[in-house]
Amino acid sequence: MTNESDDAAESRGGGAGVSVSVDHEVCSSYGNCARVYREVFDVSGMFAEIRADVDWKSVDHARLRGAEDGCPWMAITVSEDEAS
């Protein structure tokens, strides 16, 4: 899976057994996610976005969970596919 933004409501991305979404309905662009994992998240506008150039095979899942846990608005969802 690659970065997808179906509309202004969310940003999604993923691959290699993990998927990530940022809910723009609640994201306040606080930036914790980008501070924790700038290789995955970008906050250059009104919301956090999943970067289009993420190398999903090398993503550290623990660090990704840290970004999810660090979001004060719980706007980030990380899902892991156990089959991958």
Q: What confidence tens digit (pLDDT) does each residue in 7-56 have?
A: 558 899 999 999 999 999 999 999 999 999 999 999 988 999 999 999 99
Q: What are phi and psi of 75, to 5 degrees?
A: -85, -10
17 close to 81: Cβ distance less than 8 angstroms: yes
Would you place residue 82 in the very low, low, confident or very high pLDDT band (cuts 50, 70, 90)? Answer: low
pLDDT of amino acid 45: 87
Strand partners, 11: 22
Alpha helices in 1-60, H assignment, sequence order: 32-36
Indicate the pTM of the whole model: 0.84
* Paired tokens of 77: 């969802």
**Tokens 């995955």, residue located:** 40
Distance between the two ends of the chain, CA-based, in angstroms? 13
pLDDT of amino acid 5: 47
Set out the domains of the chain in order of their start, with CATH numbers. Answer: 4-80 (3.30.70.20)
